[in-house]
Chain A
Amino acid sequence: MYKKHRNPFEFEAANNLSDDEILDFYIDDYNYSRFINTTRNIFLQGARGTGKTMSLLYNSFKIQYKKALKNSKEVDYSRIGIYIPCNTPLFHKKEHLLLKDDFKASLITEHFLVLSIVNSISNTLSEITELDNISVKLSDDLKNQIEYLLGAELIKSVSFFRAMSMFSDKESTEAQKIINNQKNDDFYQNTLTFSSLVMPFLKCIKQIECLKESHFLLLIDDAHDLNIDQKKTINSWIAYRDHSQFSFKVATAESSPNFVTSTGGMILEGHDFVSVDMLKPYQNKESEFGKLAKKIILKRLQKYDINESLSDFFPTSPSFKDDIDRAREKVRKDAIEKYDGGKGSQISDHVAKYTRAEYFKSRPSKANLPPYSGFETIIDVSTGVIRNLLDPCYWMYDAELSESNDKIKLIPHGTQQSVLINRSNKLWERLEGLDKTDVDCSKDQAEQIFNLFENLMVHFKGRLMSELSEPRTVTFVITSQVKDLMEKITPLLDIAQKAQLLYTRHGKDKRTTKKVTVYVPNRLLLISRGLDPHGQYASASIKSEDIVAAAINNKKIPVPKTSGADETIQIKLFEN
């Protein structure tokens, strides 16, 4: 019935994985853990599939507790991470919009948010044996305190945390029944707030000996699914100055999250919170995406008793290797001639820069698409997004599985090539009809986005065939920005980003040291256009007028004729 875990590269939502699967699959990235475990408020920003949920779940106390037990290590109670999912039917309820009074609407939605937080804290701590088994006297004391504060009655026959879990669920159920059935603004009277429930609850919890010094990390996942009032409420809590007891780690797919508080103020980056860009896992050389990708895939293969190396499991086409060798030799000869033998690393630098370009350039114009294969290519097409890494691996494995019931020891290069081309074609199909599939994209916008990407591909191809100094560039920055033109471009780029056809990274222009936004088209798109997904650490500089002309008038984006100062911007993306 279920196709459960027959494929090591399943990429279903992380919050649907079991605790053991999270422990098995997650590759701990020190940089994320470091941010999540600080007492500061953090916004984790990144598109779907960039690992936000996995990072939060892995750092939740539930998982850290199990990890400590598994490794026979002492449990660390100094940080208690509470995972709070927001992509649940409760947060998709919209009945509050029917209320005439906006204030009442905000109260009821805060009520749901607060109960969700208390329920998550209670469920997490009730699963910790030491906490669920606190003395009956302490448990009763804590219950009495909550009962006194809320005027509520907690169930007697279960532990404190189980009683609080049941209480929060019951309150939520009752509020939902009322809001589902009311015909007018008759309102649920007993709404709870962060200060009336969460804070006293945390205060109570800290009476438990091992939690006295604990800092609670409230890990809010999929915050983009919260309504505007709930977002403002969280921002107001973030603005709360005392971070000794709790802090928020808010994961969102929004590229421009709302930072307004309930009182109309703003929370400020650096002052109230720190942003972490999940699309930039390159804080230092040790955690660059390529290394992370290798660890992720190796761990998954090992979990399925496949103990091959990545180069053996995803072999590169021999013809590709041979052709690259030939291209390298030609480029080396040309370099020796050009530089008259060359000095220092002149020849090797030239070879490194131009070999792949020569390979793509020297292919006959009517040749089939290159034999895209090998794990490095799979990393390239992922564009630095974990789900994009798993997707082709999943389909390659699936293709092999459909051919044979034997244990799969490798994905032949032919299968890799056909899957990569197929997935690329599918992405182009989607790009051609964004108005059919994507939210809030009009027919005109869909056409313009398609034109833009087509013309970008033609531009990148033009560069690849040219003698420019950075021929393999597959990213761009927008230069000569004119306000009117940017107003036309920005909505298109936003839709493309939401559709994960385009990603952005922030970097610095090496020459001017100015901050720039680097636009990175999903590299899977390059495959069916015969381009090199490997790219180069440089971006094409394209004027805003050329972007508009490409999108709206379907005009080609000019390729500089010769190497010049304005053809590319050298971007420093990876700052220590």
Chain B
Amino acid sequence: MDKKGYNTLIAVLGWEDRFYEGIKSDLENYSFQRLILLRYQECDDFTVKSRELIENICAKNEIDLKYLEVSDLDTVEKWKVFDDYFSNEDNVGKNVLLDISTMPRDTIWSLLYFLNSLNISIDYIYHTPKSYNSDWLSKEPGKPRLLFKHSGISRLGVQTALIILTGFETERTKQLVHFFEPKLTYLGVQKGNQFNNEIRNAENHESIKGYTETKEFELDAYAGDNGFSSIKDQIDELKDSYNVIVASLGPKPTSIAMYKAFLDNPEIALAYVPAKEFNKEYSKGIGDKIFGTFK
């Protein structure tokens, strides 16, 4: 059977096992003309080995490899780099596959913004790891930010509600609540008990107890819609009475669902928490893959 063909595969250059194994799997299962790797300068020391492996595999498969250098230290410049490159269809072609496995959430949203405006076909793929580091994942967080062009339409004199799709780092949940001081916070939690979800959910609640009114809702990042219907329900419940800010700290595919919800509700704001340092042992191995079509 013929492999599905894309003009371009876009990913973020990473160092975890699932980065190289994921790209290798993508190249085995689909065909591409080019691979664009977003190369974060802050992580360059971690990715020496990955670059060697990727350069070899691209050469072997005769795929054009392009590194696009970006930095999280200058968000304006990063946005402009994306704008310059991804606003031009000649640079990406008509069909794109985004490998979001090691892609920061704000980068996923930024790419969807620029690529979506080109009216091209966008699929995405996410490779889960076998396990995550139980100690820490990221350090040196910056202040929470609203993504450029996705900061919503804030009504004057209206209180704030925050929807957080929670993840491993309860500190980030706490940071978002302390920063935005919302009247209401809806905590989205992953269904099931994988990766000690129940313990973490309790920690998330405890970290913000007393600071905001809270409600919990369930979603399934691994369902066909990556939790879109659950996210949409929460937004529908809140949007008439509050300025709604949404943030995804949970499984990456929910970022895609969240972006779809944003497109339906451009008055809401997309928030993220940048971090300067990531654990070199962020995750181990490669697990299942999740594939979806954005457009």
Contact = CB atoms under 8 A, between A and B. Distances in A.
Interface of A: 1-4, 7, 9-13, 15-16, 48, 87-90, 92-95, 97-98, 115-116, 119-120, 123, 165, 168-169, 172-173, 176-177, 180-181, 390-391, 394, 398, 433, 435-443
B210 A95 contact: no
A220 to B, nearest CB: 15
A17 B276 CA distance: 35
A436 B141 CA distance: 7
Contacts, number: 127
B211 interface: yes
A11 B209 CA distance: 9
B171 A436 contact: yes
Interface string B133-163: 0001011111101101111111111011000
Interface stretch (B8-16, B38-46, B212-220): B212-220
Given A3-B214, A12-B213, A440 B245 contact: no
Nearest to B144: A92
Contacts of B75: 94, 97
7 contacts: A4-B213, A13-B212, A88-B160, A93-B146, A93-B151, A177-B153, A442-B140
Given A88-B160, A173-B155, A436 B146 contact: no
Contacts of A97: 75-76, 148
A436 B210 contact: no
Interface stretch (B23-31, B52-60, B64-72, B175-183): B175-183
A410 to B, nearest CB: 20
Contacts of B143: 439
A268 to B, nearest CB: 30
Given A93-B154, A95-B151, A440 B142 contact: yes
A440 B140 contact: yes
A15 to B, nearest CB: 7
Nearest to A120: B157
Which of A172, A173, A436 counts the most B-chain CB atoms under 10 A from its CB? Answer: A436
Nearest to B178: A48
Contacts of A165: 156-157
B90 to A, nearest CB: 18
Contacts of B214: 2-3
B79 interface: yes
Contact of A92 (B146, B156, B210, B277): B146
Interface string B159-191: 110000000000100110010111100000000
A177 to B, nearest CB: 6
B262 to A, nearest CB: 11
B112 to A, nearest CB: 15
A437 B207 CA distance: 12
Interface in B224-278: 243, 245, 266, 269, 276-277
B149 A11 contact: no
Given A3-B209, A10-B210, A98-B80, 6 more contacts: A1-B215, A9-B210, A48-B178, A87-B181, A173-B155, A180-B149
B210 A11 contact: yes
Contacts of B215: 1-2
A16 B242 CA distance: 12
A473 to B, nearest CB: 31
Nearest to A91: B154
Contacts of A92: 145-146, 151, 180, 269
Contacts of A4: 213
Contacts of B140: 435, 440-443
A524 to B, nearest CB: 15
Interface centre among B149, B154, B183, B209 (most CB of A within 10 A): B154
Nearest to A48: B178
Interface residues of B, number: 46
Nearest to A442: B140
A7 B210 CA distance: 9
B141 A439 contact: yes
Contact of B141 (A7, A89, A115, A438): A438
Interface in B61-119: 75-76, 79-80
A119 B139 contact: no
A13 B171 contact: no
A209 B80 CA distance: 54
Contact of B139 (A89, A95, A181, A443): A443
A447 to B, nearest CB: 12
Nearest to B242: A89
Contact of A2 (B175, B178, B213): B213
A11 B156 contact: no
Contact of A89 (B76, B157, B243): B243
Contacts of A93: 146, 151, 154
Nearest to B244: A89
Contact of A95 (B148, B209, B266): B148
A50 to B, nearest CB: 15
Contacts of B212: 12-13, 16
A180 B243 contact: no
Nearest to B151: A93
Interface string B273-290: 000110000000000000
A441 B143 CA distance: 11
Nearest to A10: B210
Q: Which of A90, A116, A173 has the most CB of B within 10 A?
A: A90
Contacts of A98: 76, 79-80, 148
B166 to A, nearest CB: 16
Nearest to A438: B141
Contacts of A9: 210
B116 to A, nearest CB: 13
B154 A87 contact: no
A259 to B, nearest CB: 22
Nearest to B211: A12
B211 A89 contact: no
Given A442-B140, A443-B140, A94 B151 contact: yes
A11 B211 contact: yes
B213 A89 contact: no
Contacts of B149: 95, 180-181
| The 4 A-B residue pairs with the shortest CB-CB distance in the complex, in nearest-first order | A119-B156, A90-B154, A13-B181, A89-B154
Contacts of A439: 141-143
A534 B142 CA distance: 35
B156 A116 contact: yes
Contacts of A88: 154, 160, 243
Given A7-B210, A16-B212, A435 B180 contact: no
A439 B141 CA distance: 5
Nearest to A118: B156
